[in-house]
Structure 1
Amino acid sequence: MPDAAPLLAATQLLDYRAPSVVRLTEDRKWLRLPQYDRIGAIYDFVRNEIAFGYNRADNIPASEVLRDGYGQCNTKGTLLMALLRGVGIKCRLRGFTIHKELQRGVVPDLIFPIAPQEILHSWVEVEFDGKWINLEGFILDEKFLSVLQQTFFGNKSLCGFGAGTDCLDAPPVRWEGHDTYIQETGIEQDFGVFETPDQFYSEHMQKFGRVRGWLYRFIIRHWMNTRVRAIRSGRLKPSRSAIHDHGGIADAA
């Protein structure tokens, strides 16, 4: 058996000793819960109390994600890992890329053609009951996912608006002791397992280029976050007519 200590360690990104993270853990009394409920409570917090949205970069510490109050697959994953390790739950990261079609409808139409074809992605693997369980279903908060389910009611598959699933009506996103997914069908490359997000981002980073990187950080992501908030609140309805035959999304209304 490999040493479990690295899978519980704090790092620069998994900064679960930061005051804000410690305070949250103590306020929620997660350490008092049995392991199953401890994982579930933290998972639900990250899924629904940290809204789906886009931070300034992938490689930011958990405490910054918590302060932002929103995140996407990579940043919410960092926060999830930090909170899990902070209460003694072993976890690690699995790195991937997803096809950019999964972000269509969230990325503004004007920008979509210049977006990278593959986007850096990850999920969290948590050890429970003697096995490793994949956790990816925390990415979209329940309110945002509910709007997609209502808008595309009757469509089993969806690839767009941050979702990549073949069971939109009932995707496996709840913690019930087994794998959870919401972007699985968009996966392109599999980079394997990493002990920490620090290691993952030291080897793999989204390649925007200097100009596109600046545009993303200071303009595009704010535009994307505005669209996400509008969809969540019902002020911007995704267009049903934009669904391709294969279940993808062409545009937003």
Structure 2
Amino acid sequence: MPDILEPALAETRAIDCSAPEVQAFVAEALPDGGQDQRDRAVRLYYAVRDRIRYEIYGADLSRTGLTASQTLRAGGGMCLHKSLVYLAALRSLGIPGRLVLTDVRNHLASPRIRAYIGGDVFHYHALTTVHLEGRWVRATPVFNKLLCRLYGMEPLEFDGTADSVHHPYGKDGTAQMEFLHEHGEFDDLPYQLVLDGLRAKHPALFVAEGGDRFTAGSLVADAADRTA
């Protein structure tokens, strides 16, 4: 492995790839060990996407709450949490991965979440980039199949050869998600940058000013409200 990739393999506080919870998750997702690195990365992608509940409400943005091991104990999290779990799982197998942070416009946000966000632009949306077969490919193991069905979205697939970031349009041609700005790729979670940015851009999402937890709620319940 080239030295330049070593930072993308390192264990960090947030990407705690040697934690028992991460090791158990990987073992369950890959009981046969996987055929090769691409096969392992793809199967881990689907394990993170569909076995970990996606939920923005109640998100714990403390340093401990954003660790991969804590997200696995909790069983759910938002894009940051799930992307960090995926990176921890990849790195535990020697597959380099980095965190990607972007600002996106989500056309499918519910009225309630729009009110909390202050519109339809969400800042510091997280995904990943994975080094496979000599090149970097992007993967977004975030929106699980149930949530996609409730919001009329196609689940995002990943085969380890092509970027998987998000479908801009639904089956009916309506806009779904638009990428507006990229903050960069990171070998580790830039914790203070993300927390300060979210506090500044989405203050109504937090339970308390200067806090590190989002207000309670349910995206599943919001989906029902959208169609009522």
- Where does residue 176 of structure 1 map in the other structure? 159
- Give, in whole Å, the separation in 1 of the partners of 2:187 and 2:80: 14
Alpha-carbon distance change, 106 to 133 in structure 1, aligned in 2, over 3 angstroms: farther
Contact 1:50 1:66 in 2 (8 A): yes
Q: What letter is aligned with 1:97?
A: D
Q: Which residue, 199, 212, 216 being the options, matches 1:222? A: 216
Number of residue pairs aligned between Structure 1 and Structure 2 = 209
Cα displacement string for residues 155-201 of structure 1 (whole angstroms, at most 9, x for unaligned residues)? xxxxxxxxxxxxx5x56x1121221123764322211221122xx32
Local SS of the residue matching 1:26: helix
CA shift, 1:132, in A, is: 0.6
- Cα distance in 2 for partners of 1:218, 1:190 equals 23
Partner deviation per Cα, 1:50-93 (whole Å, 9 max, x = no partner): 11112212751001111121122111101110011011111112
Normalised to the residue count of structure 2, the TM-score between the two structures is: 0.77
Matches of 1:52 and 1:26 in 2, distance apart?
22
Q: What is the CA distance between 1:5 and its match in structure 2? A: 1.7
Q: Following the alignment from structure 2 to structure 1, what is the Cα–Cα distance between the partners of residues 149 and 116?
A: 26
How far apart, in 2, do the equivalents of 1:17 and 1:180 lie? 27
Query: What's 2:173 paired with?
Result: none
Structure 1 position 3, deviation (Å): 2.5
What residue ranges of structure 1 are gaps of 5+ in the alignment?
150-167, 240-252
- Asked if structure 1 preserves the Cα contact closer than 8 Å seen for 2:99 and 2:129, the reply is yes
Task: Give the Cα–Cα distance (whole angstroms) in 2 for the partners of residues 41 and 20 of structure 1.
Answer: 17
Amino acid at match of 2:221: A
Match of 1:21 in 2: 22
RMSD (Å), alpha carbons: 3.1
In the superposition, relative to structure 1, how do residues 51 and 19 fare at CA in structure 2: closer, same or farther (>3 Å)?
same
Q: Which has the larger radius of gyration?
A: 1
The 8 Å contact of residues 91 and 126 in structure 1, kept in 2 or not, is answered as: yes
CA distance 1:23–1:118, change in 2 (3 Å): closer
Question: Hey, what does 2:226 align to over in structure 1?
Answer: 238
Rounded to whole Å, the distance in 2 between the matches of 1:8 and 1:119 is: 26
What secondary structure does 1:186 align onto?
strand
**Which amino acid in 2 is paired with 1:77?**
S
**Fraction of identical pairs, as percent:** 20
Does the CA contact (< 8 Å) of 1:98 and 1:119 recur in 2?
yes
Q: Name the TM-score, length of structure 1 as normaliser.
A: 0.70
Structure 2 match to 1:93: 99
Aligned to 1:3: 4
C-alpha deviation, 1:203, in angstroms: 3.4
CA contact (8 A) 2:108 2:151 kept: no
Gaps of 5+ in 2: 169-176
Any conservation in 2 of the 1:15–1:63 contact (CA below 8 Å)? yes
Task: Name the amino acid aligned to 2:44.
Answer: I
Contact 2:26-2:44 within 8 A present in 1 as well:
no
